[in-house]
Amino acid sequence: MTTGAPAGGSPPARREPPASVHTGLLRIREELPAWQAWLLGLVPVALLLLAWVFVTSGAAEERVISPTILPSPSEVVASFPLLWFDRALTRNLAVSFLRVVEGFLLALVVSFPLGLLMGSFTKVKAAFTPLTIFGAYLPIPTLVPLTLSLFGTAELQKVMFLALAFSIYLVPLFVAAVDAVDDTYLKTAYTLGATKGQAVSRVLLPISWPEIWQAMRMGFGVGWSYILLAEMVDVGRGIGGIIITSQRRGPREHIYLVLVIIVVVAFLTDKLWAVAGRWLFPYREAKR
Amino acid sequence: MEEQPKVGPTVLGKLVLFLFVLACIAGAAYYFRDLLAPGGRGGGKQVDLDEFRKVEAPDTKGITTVSEYKYVPGEKLPPVKGVSAYKWDAQKVVSFPINVWIGWLPIVAANGGFAPNADSIFAKKYGFKVNLKLIDDPVVARDAFAAGESHVLWGTLDMMVLFAPDLMKDSRSAPRVFQQVDWSSGGDGIVVRGAIASVADLKGKTIVYAQNSPSQYFINNLLLNAGVQPSSVKHKFTATAFEAAAAFVADKSIDACVSWAPDIYNIPEKVKGTRILTTTAEANKLIADVWAARADFAKDHPDVVKGLVAGIFDGMDRLKDATQREKAYQWMAEGYGMQADEVRAMAQDAHSTNFAENKAFFVNANDPANFERTWKNVTFVYRELGLLDTPVRFDEVMDFSVIQELDKSGSFAHQKDESRATFTPTSYKKMSAESPILTQTIRINFYPNSANVFEPQHDESGKAVANTLYDPSVAATLEKVARLVGQYERAVVAVVGHTDSSMKGKGTRFEDVKALSTDRAEAVKQALVKKYNFDPNKFTVEGKGWDDPADADDPMNQALNRRVEISVYPPEAK
């Protein structure tokens, strides 16, 4: 193999890639064994933890960051039993999780057909695009009082608020998924005599399914970022209520603990989505 | 089909196995349910209403009007350790966050607006500048204080009770309260729907309010004072008082809300069938607005802290002048991004507490609504609600050293107590035509046929035993009443005595019994007036004899019948 860039008359398209692209620490799109991927994933987490320990070690007054702002990892861990027992972590977590699921399902009922229609029919898309753009720029917190006056203060309001937030996020992604279906498939279908309905139900939908699934997987996480807003009213139960309460009267530890727990839950649910996706669309995982 | 040789269980077998494992997991989860999903703490718990009065260690010596603390604040305040951690430079600018609240008018007046400037009273008289910043969210204000970004934390005393334990984890950011700025006086209130006429009617109803805010203290203190278990009311929580008002308007199934002006006044005007139950216009010594300085800052710059306190008092002097007052409204409006008219409309929400009132609040140990009593009362309410694990003592936060210094120097001797309401004598008949906000039932064990609340014990021969009390808990009982009456400083109070009916039809004349119950009610009034220096005209006294059994269904329950009822009525509409 030659190295460097020999100037020559050979056509550029045929040129052998320089060997350097296959060597060195960082290689573009290299195959990575699973254990390496895991290990590399752990490094930033470990560094973050180390930094956390560093800025929060020592007596309260000698720390880089005061415990009244950021408690140390050990303090956070030590407050776990209090969160688990006195503040009924699991029950509140279950309540919040259920709300997210309900809001998500409700959002699907509206956003899935809408997204499919918008992706398929240009006129529908033209009609609803301004609305989705408006939604994308809308500061979601301003919707809290609105949902209050429409849906009261109980469970319905929280679910509806989450459904609204989910829909705003999901519709553009669904549209993009349907949009991404290559025209060749449609043309082939028409050649074979497919009707409009068939083109949507037999071509556009099945081909965009994996992308739609991917959009749902990403969208599901969004609910957790809005749970705090959703649970601002009638704070009684739910994981958002724990954060709001801890901000006001402590312990600070629980704020960070709940954040960590939300991350863990999000990670686990995301893995579930991935597993389900592999099972539903095995061909998507096939090597391209 | 040909039979394929199979290894392992059949499909049915697999299903059965799967269900079995699932059942095992479910069973284990159920068995360990208290461990896996504990029910949590707080709420639903019964408050020992008798404990409510034991907040104060009773001072049985009693009967003095002014008794000042003898200790030096520095001895009880937690010492500051380590290197100070706040921002400070040669510019000497105190970062002082405030919320949208008319109580900050004096400091706005003293500072000549929000921005630090050389023309302010602080700069001219005390040699530093003040930067007033609008930070309406208490959590943000608290975090800025903890991080050393601001030197001061705004808040009500009940908020400080909740903030203090966490802030004191770092001795440098421990809050030191040096001054009371105002009493909420109409700024907080409770709006109800339908036929709710008094606090007692809230039993079994749904109320909505902002958790961990003055609203929560207001309503739960009220419930406890009226003898209503907080757990017998359905509480709905919101993050802010604004949302509580919105939720009340939107949701007809909610019977009451605790919120702030202007919402509490707007709702009854706009929403049919709603009315104000009570506001801090009546409970005008319940919610104290204060500011706290970081402990490290207070330690390093006692002169600046003293200047802040004095400057705010100077601001109160300045506001006596009508043109200065208008100017202050204008400055405040600019700082809040509001119209001057909107700020002027808030003027009635709070009563600024001048030097004399601060002196009563901080150093008069006998004031029924002083710092110590307010702090202990808040602590009791929040601890009973399960919101407070490790309460902080009042003297770990309260620093009256500046007020004491200013008292000695006499700089503000001209500021006289303006908070004391004046009362004209009124009759019980006239008063009781209205319904009371709340009625508190107390029991004082009177010696038979005696109307002396401090009656000593008697030996077998009927001779009084010196240094004993027939009712040893009488001082604590009076203390409980005094706190309620002190909180409702502007309201009028009826003291109604009742006797049992054990001598009914046994030759005892009703007139005598009625006179005895009147005398006993009068004795309770006198004891309160003497010890806590209340205006005698605040009270009316009535004796009902045996006419009014405590429990209509059980009129012969004589232990319940021997009682005194303290009813708080709204001040007469003028």
Which tens digit of pLDDT belongs to each residue from A72-105? 999 999 988 888 888 888 888 999 999 999 999 9
Contact B294, B78 (CB under 8 A): no
Which of A153, A235, A244 is facing B250, going by the closest CB pair?
Answer: A153
Predicted confidence at residue B18, as pLDDT, reads 87
Q: Does A61 touch chain B (CB under 8 A)?
A: yes
Min Cα–Cα distance to chain B from A153, Å: 6
Contact A87 B41 (CB under 8 A): yes
Query: What ipTM describes this predicted complex?
Result: 0.75
Token output for A69:
């702002």
Predicted confidence at residue A288, as pLDDT, reads 41
Predicted confidence at residue B55, as pLDDT, reads 43
At A45-71, the pLDDT tens digits run 899 999 999 999 888 888 888 888 899
CA dihedral defined by B514, B520, B523, B529, rounded to 10 degrees?
Answer: -90
Token output for B444:
């004082």
Min Cα–Cα distance to chain B from A69, Å: 6
Which residue ranges of chain B lie beneath pLDDT 50?
54-64, 573-574
Query: Average pLDDT, whole number, for chain A?
Result: 85
Give the rounded percent of residues in chain A with a pLDDT score beyond 70. Answer: 92
Residue numbers in A near B83 (CB within 8 A) = 61
Contact B171 A60 (CB under 8 A): yes
Angle, to 10 degrees, between the axis of helix A252-280 and the axis of helix A89-120?
50
Contact A152 B236 (CB under 8 A): no
Min Cα–Cα distance to chain A from B148, Å: 10
Per-residue pLDDT, averaged over A167-175, amounts to 91
pLDDT higher than threshold 80 for residue A182: yes
Contact A161, A228 (CB under 8 A): no
Query: Average pLDDT, whole number, for chain B?
Result: 86
pLDDT band for position A12 (cuts 50, 70, 90): low
Write out the DSSP string of A140-208.
GGGHHHHHHHHH-SSHHHHHHHHHHHHHHHHHHHHHHHHHTS-HHHHHHHHHTT--HHHIIIIIIHHHH
Total-model pTM: 0.81
Which of B40, B166, B251 is facing A87, going by the closest CB pair?
Answer: B40
Nearest CA in chain B to A232: B239
Residue A4, burial from CB neighbour count under 10 angstroms (0-12, 13-18, 19+): exposed
Which of B138, B167, B251 is facing A153, going by the closest CB pair?
Answer: B251
Q: Which of B417, B445, B429 is nearest to B535 (CA)?
A: B417
Contact B181, B103 (CB under 8 A): yes
Which amino acid type is present at position A270? D
How far, in Å, CA of B347 to CA of B327, rounded?
Answer: 14
Q: Does A69 touch chain B (CB under 8 A)?
A: yes
Q: Does A236 touch chain B (CB under 8 A)?
A: yes
Residue B322: phi and psi, rounded to 5, are -60, -40
Min Cα–Cα distance to chain B from A205, Å: 34
Min Cα–Cα distance to chain B from A119, Å: 38
